[in-house]
Structure 1
Amino acid sequence: MQLIKLSKAGLLFTVLLLPLLAGCEETSLPEGWRFPTNADFIGEWKENEKYVEKPYLAEADFDGNGVLDQAWILIKDDNSWGVFVILDLDSTDPDWIQLDITEKGSKTYLPPQSMGLDVVSEGKYKTVCGKGYDCEKNEPKEIELRLPAIRYFRYESASSIFYWDKKTSAFKRIWMSD
């Protein structure tokens, strides 16, 4: 009988990273993008892990078809990063939908660890407009979600929600705080 020995790094990889990729191991990523690794789990991601365990991942049935979907913060080698959703995780060839991108070197660049994702439940929510901030033309004061949605937030700052619009079969974004 042969025993397998794992180094501390190997054990850490096994315990932390593999569950991260559950359901995605056979999914090809958009070209040039990668999943966050243990080395990326720094800054505000690390500081806030007791509140948001996986700030780079939100999982729910966002489009209401009965199949689990995932939203990810994906990273490029140059530290550009973006928010992507993979619908129909069970599909043999699922598509990635890009919701947002932040290019390294842009005027508004923040590291990916300054942002997070989580799931918003169905229900009614006041938007930025409904909270008394300046409103864009036709911006609603309240939104009623009939499906789970993706909260995209900057720690201690702004947040928005990406929700599935069945009429257009696409995600829409609405600001919740600034």
Structure 2
Amino acid sequence: MRRIPILLFILLSLEAFALELPEGWRLPTAKELSGEERDNQHNSYISENRFTKAEGDFNGDGKIDSAYILISNKFNGDGLFLYLSGTKGYEWHILEESNWDKSYPDKNYVYSSPNMGVGTLPPSTFRRYVGKAWPTPTDIVPTEEDFANPALDYFRFESAGSLFFWSKSEQRFVRFWYSD
């Protein structure tokens, strides 16, 4: 009988440490992530969370940041969010949002699962990806100092891919496409 209150206390304590997600957003369900493309055997690197979370010191401040693919509770779509450390502590930043209701109005689009993945590219791999890209004149191409931190690999499975990296000169995250 004493075990139940102790177990309940432990569960409630763990809940207190849970990350509070941005309003209107949730984590993907196991069903939404059940596609074969999310299996590690089908990808060039391993993901312990089916390519829905990436971690690294993305802005170079010595603290680990986290990127998540989240699902909207308000519309058919998903987004790439970054839980980024800064001078005021950690804050949420949205890097990309896909709203299928806006993209396909009056089409009764039914959202089934996120079609994007996210991963962490260490600086050396980040450099190799940039070396394979064909930047347009409008792209902010990473400079030598930008390769000090890992980058976020944001990709559609077996299709388009882009990097989000912290540009030291711009003092912001920049998107750089490496495939279409």
TM-score, scaled to structure 2? 0.70
Three-state SS of the structure 2 residue aligned to 1:40 is coil
2:163 maps to 161
Distance in 2 (CA, whole Å) between partners of 1:141 and 1:63 is 16
1:125 maps to 128
1:86 maps to 83
Three-state SS of the structure 1 residue aligned to 2:128 is strand
Shift of 1:114: 1.8
Distance in 2 (CA, whole Å) between partners of 1:169 and 1:140 is 12
Shift of 1:92: 8.3
> Unaligned 5+ residue runs, structure 1?
5-13, 15-21
Q: Report the more deviating stretch, 67-76 or 51-60.
A: 51-60
Which one has the bigger helix percentage?
2
1:9 maps to none
2:8 maps to none
Shift of 1:140: 6.8
Distance in 1 (CA, whole Å) between partners of 2:141 and 2:172 is 21
Distance in 1 (CA, whole Å) between partners of 2:158 and 2:123 is 23
CA contact (8 A) 2:121 2:152 kept: yes
Distance in 2 (CA, whole Å) between partners of 1:35 and 1:2 is 34
Distance in 2 (CA, whole Å) between partners of 1:92 and 1:142 is 27
One-letter amino acid matched to 2:77: S
Distance change >3 Å, CA 132–CA 106, structure 1 → 2: same
Shift of 1:113: 3.0
Distance in 2 (CA, whole Å) between partners of 1:104 and 1:25 is 32
Q: Report the more deviating stretch, 72-81 or 57-66.
A: 72-81
2:47 maps to 52
> Unaligned 5+ residue runs, structure 2?
5-10
Selected match of 1:95 from 84, 91, 94 = 91
1:114 maps to 115
List per-residue Cα deviations over 1:125-175 (Å, max 9, x = no partner).
354xx6585x52254777652210100011011110000112332100100
Shift of 1:29: 2.0
Selected match of 2:35 from 43, 46, 61 = 43
Q: Report the more deviating stretch, 27-36 or 108-117.
A: 108-117
- Aligned length in residues: 157
Shift of 1:3: 6.4
- RMSD of Structure 2 on Structure 1 (CA): 3.5
Distance change >3 Å, CA 155–CA 64, structure 1 → 2: same
2:136 maps to 136
Identity of aligned residues (%): 34
Distance in 2 (CA, whole Å) between partners of 1:157 and 1:106 is 22
